[in-house]
Amino acid sequence: MAIGEQQTQEDEDSGSEFEPNVGWRHTLSKIKDDTTARFGLYVIAIVGTVAMVTTIDANLSTITFGRVENFTLAESVWYHPERHPDPGTTERRMPPFFVEGGSLEHPLGTDRNGRDYISRLVYGTRVSFFVGIVATGLGMIGGTIVGAVSGYYGGWVDDVLMRAVETLYAIPPLVLVIVFTVFVSGGDPDIIYAVFGVGIAFIPVFARLIRSRVLSVREMDYVEAARATGVKDRDILRRHVIPNSFAPVLVLATLQIGVTILIVAGLSFLGYGAQPPTPDWGEMLRISHQYMHSNPWMSIWPGLAILITIMGFNLFGDGLQDALDPRIK
């Protein structure tokens, strides 16, 4: 094996610790006792709720991260995240309220077009949260299929698939996603290309994990027995191998969501992610970067939002991992 062979071995080591019957319930109860994991879960729940509510509010039909048209809720409670103030009524790039020149009307100030910063932050949650989950999910599905097929059939299938996976792994995800987004979209980038790009870029991580699980499960007695009684390969995969790998995949997926959010923020920072006027954290950082001298506050908030969200997923992922793999705590 070429790249990351030790990692695969590590995976196998830790993989063998998962007993097929360590129940889901058991994991949950462990998480309940783990303060940090619980904290992570709360963060995810809050961010998720915000994302959900704002998406429903923004427009049910735009769950595809497309253009946002209505902001009923935001408007009734707070400020329309895309509404520009009438000419001459609000200042552009106001600082937060605790700095001279700020006001409580816009607690975190306004953006370059005089739009309320808080409401743009809140509505920006949607892109990060859903892209994080959907793109990781795509990678998980793709990786599971590749890894399962590769591990189960072995031989030349395994060889070919694993070479392909290694190749994909060798191109840094961000680079792969940028090139994918720009060139496949024909120069008109959109966040949806980024979703697929990340999905493809994550196939290797998941494929590796699943493959190592398959290799270890395949050797188990009950699978041998099933095969001896004539159960089809596909059914063995479906009934025994994949369910048994679910827990570690979930851990990995939770942690990868954080990575996805990082990548997508980087992509938007470079101008190839969400397109204006869609509110998005990475995009906000891209724009505020130019105002580092005139208003440094604008750079702080979107970064904090990203940090908190990713931290939620990481805390929860770590908690899951500890619950499933109690060796180290």
Partner 1 sequence: MGLLRYTLNRFLQAIPVMFGIAVITFLLVNSMPGNPVDVMLAEQDASPELIQAIEERYGLDEPLHIQFLNYIGFSWFLAQIGFPGFADAPPGLLQGDLGLSMYYERPVSDLMLTRLPPTLLLMMSAFAFALVTAIPLGVLAATRRNQPADHVSRIVALIGVSTPSFWIGIMLIILFSVQLGWLPSGRLVYPWRDPSHYGYGSTLELYYQTVRHLILPMIALGTLQMATIMRVERSSMIESLQKEYVKLARAYGVSERKILRKHAFRPSQLPVVTLVGLNLTSAIGGAVLIEMVFSINGMGRLLIQSIQTHDYQLVLGTTVVIGFVFVIGVIITDIAYAYIDPRVSYGEGS
Partner 2 sequence: MRRLTDERSRITRRQAIASGAAVSTSLFLAGCADDAEEDLPDDDDDTPDVEGQLNITQQVAPIEWDPVVANDAYSGQIYHTIYDGLYEYDVQTVDPQPKIAADTPEIERDGERFIIPLREEPEFHDGTPVTAEDVIHSFTAPVEEQTDNMPDFDMIEDAEAIDDHTVQFDLEFPYGAFETVTLATYIVNAEARQDDPEAFNLENPIGSGPYQFDQAEIGEFADVTLWEDYWDEPSQIPSIRWEPAEDDAGRVSRMLARETDVMEGIPPADWESIEAEDGISIEDTADTGVFYLAFNCQEGPTADPDVRRAVAYCHSTSAFVDDVIGEAGQNINYPVGPTIAEEWDFPVDEWNDMEYEFDPDRAQELLDNSDAIEEGDEIRFISPPDDLREQWCELVVDRLNEIGYGGRVDRLDWDTFTDTYQSGDADEFNVYSLGWTGGGDPDVYLYQLFHESQAGVNQGHFYESDEFHEKIVQARESVDMDERRELYIEVIEEILEEVVWIPGWNTLSAIAYDEDRVENVLPDTSTTTTPRMDLPDAALR
Please report, as ranges, the residues that interact with partner 2 according to CB under 8 A: 67, 69, 82-84, 86-88, 91-95, 99, 101, 112-113, 182, 186-188, 271, 275-277, 287, 289-296
Helices 191-218 and 242-269, axial angle in degrees (round to 10): 150
Is residue 99 near partner 1 by the rule CB under 8 A? no
Please give the Cα distance from 13 to 7 (Å, whole number). Answer: 10
- Residues ≥6 apart with Cβ < 8 Å to 172: none
Minimum distance from residue 120 beta carbon to partner 2 (Å):
12
Question: Within 13 Å and on the Cβ side, how many CA atoms surround 195?
Answer: 18
Minimum distance from residue 60 beta carbon to partner 2 (Å):
15
- Binding-site string for partner 1 from residue 58 to residue 97, where x marks contact by CB under 8 A and - marks none: ----------------------------------------
CB 101 within 8 A of CB 108: no
Nearer to partner 2, 16 or 290 (CB): 290
Minimum distance from residue 298 beta carbon to partner 1 (Å):
10
What residue type is 263 in one-letter code?
I
Question: 6 to each of 11, 12, 18, 207, how far by Cα in Å?
Answer: 9, 10, 19, 15
- Binding-site string for partner 1 from residue 233 to residue 272, where x marks contact by CB under 8 A and - marks none: -------------------------xx--xx-xx--xx--
- Binding-site string for partner 1 from residue 30 to residue 49, where x marks contact by CB under 8 A and - marks none: --------------------
- Residues ≥6 apart with Cβ < 8 Å to 75: 83
The candidate with the shortest Cα–Cα distance to 214, out of 272, 152, 306, 125, is 152
What residue type is 75 in one-letter code?
E
Choose the one of partner 1, partner 2, none that binds residue 172, judging by a C-beta under 5 to 8 angstroms depending on kind.
partner 1
CB 275 within 8 A of CB 193: no
Q: Which two tokens stand for residue 186?
A: 């024909």
Q: Among 71, 117, 180, 206, which residue interacts with partner 1 (rule: CB under 8 A)? A: 180
Nearer to partner 2, 64 or 294 (CB): 294
Is residue 169 near partner 1 by the rule CB under 8 A? yes
Choose the one of partner 2, partner 1, none that binds residue 2, judging by a C-beta under 5 to 8 angstroms depending on kind.
partner 1
Radius of gyration of the chain (CA): 23
Q: What is the DSSP string of 181-225?
A: HHHHTTT---HHHHHHHHHHHHHHHHHHHHHHHHHHHHTSHHHHH
Nearer to partner 1, 223 or 257 (CB): 257
Is residue 4 near partner 1 by the rule CB under 8 A? yes
Count of residues that bind partner 1 according to CB under 8 A: 53
- Residues ≥6 apart with Cβ < 8 Å to 113: 84, 92
Choose the one of partner 2, partner 1, none that binds residue 325, judging by a C-beta under 5 to 8 angstroms depending on kind.
none
Is residue 232 near partner 1 by the rule CB under 8 A? no
Minimum distance from residue 234 beta carbon to partner 1 (Å):
28
Residues 292 to 321 in contact with partner 1, rule: CB under 8 A: 292-293, 296, 299-300, 302-303, 306-307, 310-311, 314-315
Choose the one of partner 2, partner 1, none that binds residue 277, judging by a C-beta under 5 to 8 angstroms depending on kind.
partner 2
CB 323 within 8 A of CB 313: no
Question: 257 to each of 70, 202, 253, how far by Cα in Å?
Answer: 28, 10, 6
